[in-house]
Amino acid sequence: MGGVAGVKYKIETEKHTGSHTVDGVTVPVARSRQVAVPVLPRDLDVLAARAVVALVLVLTAVSIVWSTVSIAHLLQGDVTAYLAGGVFDLAWCAALGMAFMVRFRPDRRAIVDRVGWALLAVTVSAIGVEGYRSGGLAMACVGASVSVAAKALWWTLGRVTRPELSPDDAQWVAAQISTASAQLAVASARRQVARAQDRATAELLAMEASRRPPHGATTPDVHAAPATTSIPEVLPAPAVTAAPDTTPSIPEAAPVTALEASDQAPGRTAPDQRKQLSPGHSGARPNRGVTVPPAARGTAAPTRSDSELLDALDALGEAAGGLSIRAAATRLGVGQVRAKRLLSEHAARRQPLSLVKDSEAAG
């Protein structure tokens, strides 16, 4: 079997499909054959890089042990001193990892390199002081050189493997990183706004719930009320139509005498009070001390979803932006707490957050 000179081959078994005919009938069959596959030569660059990294890791481990022990002896040699001695080398390792993370951003890489060299200077100074105190100047210089040699190898390896980008490529990378960072910022801002809105709604609902009477409480005796009483504007409001110029009206209530009041609502308790709630809010406070006719007590405003109420606000157009909370509650037939939440959601829906690139904004 011929081949290219200098290229090594290995024999492999390969499956292939053939045909076999018996008595005029042909069927597909699976056969195997042996083929020579060229073997790729070893990548010496990859092997060299692996060997260098492994050797630098071993030397760095030796340097960390040496510097930790030296600084621990300088700090009286107890367990806490060993932990404190390892801080300098571990901090330098952290700076080394951060330098790899910002390898495509030269401005940030320069700051991380300065921090790494500062940590190295502190470590070398501490080892030099310990060596000079225990063995003299020669031991101080040699001991300090251990950390310098190991960490200088990392600096050299970083310079060798650091990617080089042209000015145009560097600007393109910076633009891509800026776009991704802007998207993260917008997502974080939206999450904070949603969290703040949820908290505000929860606090308003808690305040409204704290003002309700306890379950089973009774109202004052209606016989002590004046002879004639007018019903306040707490009856259920009619449904709001889509036209912006329509305003729900409340029919006038007829005066109620004290005798009629005693006949209609003798000794109201908590079950009776649930029929006299504010319009559109199932948990509003009852009408304390006020007699409500049975016809008005039996009517209930139609329950509408938030989407329907938001559509009603959309139908008002620009006039919805100038509504106060009380006016919106009257127009929609809901409580003021729900009206405030609906106004906030309507304003947020009309002005959503968006990410617009500078180039699109300029165009």
Place of tokens 């609502």: 265
Give the pairing type, strands 9-22 and 25-38.
antiparallel
Place of tokens 């306890």: 214
Q: What is the structure's pLDDT at 353?
A: 45
Angstrom distance (rounded) from CA 229 to CA 283: 25
Angstrom distance (rounded) from CA 293 to CA 356: 59
- Closest Cα partner for 151 from 52, 49, 50, 64? 64
Q: Is the dihedral of CA 110, 114, 119, 121 positive or negative?
A: positive
For the chain, which residues make up each domain, given as ranges?
44-161, 188-350
Q: Residue 363 to residues 177, 272, 331, 359, 360: CA-CA distances in angstroms?
A: 22, 65, 42, 6, 5
Residue 194, token pair as written in the block = 């949603």
Q: What is the structure's pLDDT at 348?
A: 78
Residue 186, token pair as written in the block = 């917008």
- pLDDT digit of tens for each residue in the chain (363 aa)? 555 666 788 898 989 898 999 988 999 999 999 988 888 888 888 888 889 989 989 998 998 898 888 888 888 778 888 888 888 888 988 988 898 888 888 788 888 888 988 988 888 888 888 888 888 888 888 888 888 888 888 888 888 887 788 889 888 988 998 899 999 999 999 999 999 999 999 999 999 888 877 666 555 544 444 444 444 444 444 444 444 444 444 444 444 444 343 344 444 444 444 444 444 444 444 444 545 555 545 455 567 788 888 888 888 877 777 788 888 888 888 888 888 888 888 787 766 544 444 444 444
Q: What is the structure's pLDDT at 81?
A: 86
Give a three-class secondary structure readout of the chain: CCCCCCCCEEEEEEEEEEEEEECCEEEEEEEEEEEEEECCCCCHHHHHHHHHHHHHHHHHHHHHHHHHHHHHHHCCCCHHHHHHHHHHHHHHHHHHHHHHHCCCCHHHHHHHHHHHHHHHHHHHHHHHHHHHHHHCHHHHHHHHHHHHHHHHHHHHHHHHHCCCCCHHHHHHHHHHHHHHHHHHHHHHHHHHHHHHHHHHHHHHHHHHHHCCCCCCCCCCCHHHCCCCECCCCCCCCCCCCCCCCCCCCCCCCCCECHHHHHHHCCCCCHHHHCCCCCCCCCCCCCCCCCCCCHHHHHCCCCCCCHHHHHHHHHHHHHHHHHCCHHHHHHHHCCCHHHHHHHHHHHHHHHCCCCCCCHHHHHC
Cα three-residue angle 334-272-263, rounded to 5 degrees: 120
Angstrom distance (rounded) from CA 358 to CA 240: 43
Instruction: Give the CA radius of gyration of the chain.
Output: 41
Cα three-residue angle 94-98-102, rounded to 5 degrees: 175
Q: Is the dihedral of CA 321, 302, 336, 192 positive or negative?
A: negative
Residue 43 is which amino acid?
D
Q: What is the structure's pLDDT at 252?
A: 43
